[in-house]
Structure 1
Amino acid sequence: MTPAARPELELREVLAIDAVARTRSFRIAAGLVNTTQPTLSRLIASAERTLDTPLFRRGWSGTETTPAGDVAARVCRAAIMAIDSTERAIFAGRTGVPSLPRNLRSAHLRAIEAVTRERNVTLAAKRLGRSQPELSRTLSDFSKRFAVKLFERTGSGMIPLEPAKELTALSGAITYLLDRLPEQLRQLEGDVVGRVSIGMLPFSGQDLISRAFARLSNMHPNIRLACVPGSYNGLVEALRRREIDRIIGVLRGPACPEGLEEARLYDERFAVIAARDHPLRANGENLAELAATKWVVAPHGTPVRAHFEEVFAALDLTPPTQTCEMLSFGAAEQMLIECHSVAMLTYGERRLGALRPELREVRTPFPATPAPIGVTRLRDAPEDQALTAFETALTALVAEEA
């Protein structure tokens, strides 16, 4: 094999990509691979230049892989697993040996493989386009670093010992993986790729997001999907930082923050839900009992919570203090089944008609207020293929249920 056919990514770059992808943090990854954060950043930048594509971006939960980064991370993880396997084969039963993944260098593998195949250091150096003394120093560095003998020098040449054979096989395995990485990245060019990160407001539109994601995943498997629950204010800040791309839930209307724009999809309505055997099931008209009962509510700063408090204020009632805040629709419904609480949630008629059998809607004197569900985005957000595909899927689902 000629030097030009060698893997272009260096092993230190492979280790860096794997560490950042697994930890989602340059700081944590630097500690994992025992290097500094600036050095790690330089390794990632070098890998991105080699592959001619960005591998990571800042996201809601830290550093996220791009679609190309997903592909590269899978290949790098396979390479690290191959190194781990070789480490176990060579150093079985030994203690105090430096970590092979952290200390192995591409130059080590190239030198060991070349000498194994040529059985001669001078010929191996010529094969690699290096000087004989330089190649000898590389072999010596590996042997001293790991306290292992690689070759037996004989009159007929350099005879590879078992560690050299294992490392030569490892070199071939890594070459096989990394040589195919550019082609795997090129395959992304024929599909819609990118990130769709959706902020999900409590209780509203959650079913729609999961169904749109399922449809999008079937149509465009290389799009990276993320659903981020949170309060309205927290999600707006994430939207402004471009850590998420859209917010789905109850719209704010005139109270929509500056720089954002809303697009209505459909209407749900606020409904009070309780367990089928809850004491309020036949007595929800009693305002005092409604104020005294325990409620499952959305967190402060969300449209659902604001409506909840406005309803009580309009009836000259103090909002209940015995509340349980939740972000997940499913968790809220399960809470109602397990305890004597009630919740104010938003439902479309289809979902309300398919309410879990353990639950029921409670009649109350609260106004029948619609809850407009829609998409909130940055007004100056650029167009993006992946987001366009998501919004197309979302619109189609709404139309199908109209």
Structure 2
Amino acid sequence: MIEDRIKFRHLQCFLAVAQHGSLQKAAGVLSITQPAVSKTLKELEEMLAVRLFERGRKGAVLTREGEAFMRHAGASVSALREAVASVDQTRRQGRAVVTVGVLPTVAPWLMPQLLRQLEQAGLNTSLRIHTGANPELLAQLRQRELDLVIGRFAEPAHMLGLTFEHLYADPLVLAVRAGHPLLSDPVLRANPLAHLPAFTLILPSQGTAIRHTVDSFLLARGLGPPARTLETLSVTVARHYTAGSDAVWFFPLGAVRPELDSGALVSLPVSMAGTEELVGLTLRADMSPTQAQGEVLSAIRLIASKQGLTSA
């Protein structure tokens, strides 16, 4: 029987190529060679007697048969991972594990609070935290590699089989160090936006949703592409560079809030109306939360309700 010949490595390789759209990228993730990936896929396609991917200059794209196979392959691998995790949980005296995907712009402020909330409630739950871009996290959620995602509202095409629950609306801020010329110089402070081109801007990475919002904000105010930029989603890098230079950090309020509250950084007196982006919980539509997952979800909702960010 065909199902007796299909091995875990076939499914693992297939899902890696489907997720990354490239045999080369899948090989890197799986720590094997590209020829090994190609050979494994060929074996699987021969066993199934169908072509699972169309390979071309744009990478590897699932065929209709490949899309049908992926739904069941993902569930099979997920079931195996859950079985292994259940054994691990039993070995660790029943401690439940919840795997959370979260944007790098949200993780620095939310994850520490979530861990403290779970500890204070006396919950015997462990977290596995993965950060990444929104599309990457949603793909991992669909393939059941993640239990839930804390991210931004995605295009409808990316939400098939998923549900989105709004938590808060996160506006952007322009953060600078205390004593920055845009604050201390009366002439510059009177119209800080007009003088932004004189300073290095720390911006979200190209291709992200918040970078699109930043570009739209600048364009709407007649500001062209900045001459000097640092593009990063690393809160740590941006925080330290902003605190020790005259750079201006363009980032979501939630990520910058701890520095603003402590006085380490200051928000420029500029209206950021219209820059709010929806942040929420994305779950699989067929998800029936376990007790541990339900406790984590409740804790996240409680923290978001107390955060004091702009509500949509």
| Shorter-normalised TM range | 0.5 to 0.7
Q: Contact 1:201–1:327 at 8 Å: present in 2 too?
A: no
Alignment partner of 1:69 is 2:93? no
Alignment partner of 1:57 is 2:81? yes
Q: Letter of the aligned partner of 2:106 in structure 1?
A: S
- Residue number in structure 2 paired with 1:241: 143
Aligned residue pairs, count: 230
Q: Give the whole-Å Cα distance in 2 for the aligned partners of 1:327 and 1:232.
A: 12
Alignment partner of 1:396 is 2:299? no
Give unmatched runs, 5+ long, in structure 2: 1-28, 33-77
Call closer, same or farther: CA 1:224–1:337 in 2, change over 3 Å. Answer: same
Question: Of the candidates 266, 273, 280, which is equivalent to residue 367 of structure 1?
Answer: 273
Alignment partner of 1:259 is 2:161? yes
Q: Give the whole-Å Cα distance in 1 for the aligned partners of 2:285 and 2:227.
A: 37
Q: Give the whole-Å Cα distance in 2 for the aligned partners of 1:210 and 1:280.
A: 32
- Residue number in structure 2 paired with 1:202: 104
1:118-143 per-residue CA deviation (whole Å, 9 max, x = no partner) reads xxxxxxxxxxxxxxxxxxxxxxxxxx
Q: Letter of the aligned partner of 1:305 in structure 2?
A: R
Q: Contact 2:260–2:266 at 8 Å: present in 1 too?
A: no
Q: Contact 1:200–1:206 at 8 Å: present in 2 too?
A: no
Q: Letter of the aligned partner of 1:258 in structure 2?
A: L
Q: Contact 1:262–1:377 at 8 Å: present in 2 too?
A: yes
- Residue number in structure 1 paired with 2:173: 271
Call closer, same or farther: CA 1:344–1:65 in 2, change over 3 Å. Answer: farther
Call closer, same or farther: CA 1:353–1:329 in 2, change over 3 Å. Answer: closer
Q: Give the whole-Å Cα distance in 1 for the aligned partners of 2:140 and 2:226.
A: 30
Call closer, same or farther: CA 1:322–1:257 in 2, change over 3 Å. Answer: farther
Q: Give the whole-Å Cα distance in 1 for the aligned partners of 2:281 and 2:133.
A: 15
Larger Rg: 1
Q: Contact 1:296–1:343 at 8 Å: present in 2 too?
A: yes
Structure 2-normalised TM-score?
0.60
Alignment partner of 1:213 is 2:237? no
Q: Letter of the aligned partner of 1:378 in structure 2?
A: R
Q: Letter of the aligned partner of 1:264 in structure 2?
A: H
Q: Give the whole-Å Cα distance in 2 for the aligned partners of 1:248 and 1:273.
A: 24
SS at match of 1:355: helix
Percent sequence identity over aligned pairs = 24
Q: Give the whole-Å Cα distance in 2 for the aligned partners of 1:57 and 1:349.
A: 32
1:311-362 per-residue CA deviation (whole Å, 9 max, x = no partner) reads 1122233232532233343442222112221112222599369533231111
* Alpha-carbon shift at residue 391 of structure 1 (Å): 0.6
Alignment partner of 1:379 is 2:285? yes
Question: Of the candidates 343, 347, 354, which is equivalent to residue 253 of structure 2?
Answer: 347
CA RMSD of aligned residues (A): 3.7
Q: Contact 1:273–1:359 at 8 Å: present in 2 too?
A: yes
Q: Letter of the aligned partner of 1:315 in structure 2?
A: R
Question: Of the candidates 312, 323, 344, which is equivalent to residue 229 of structure 2?
Answer: 323
Larger relative CO (CA 8 A, sep 6+): 1 or 2? 2
* Alpha-carbon shift at residue 229 of structure 1 (Å): 1.8
Call closer, same or farther: CA 1:293–1:245 in 2, change over 3 Å. Answer: farther
Q: Contact 1:66–1:224 at 8 Å: present in 2 too?
A: no
1:145-176 per-residue CA deviation (whole Å, 9 max, x = no partner) reads xxxxxxxxxxxxxxxxxxxxxxxxxxxxxxxx
Call closer, same or farther: CA 1:400–1:317 in 2, change over 3 Å. Answer: closer
Superposition pairs of residues 59-138 of structure 1, within 5 angstroms: 66=85, 68-69=87-88, 72=91
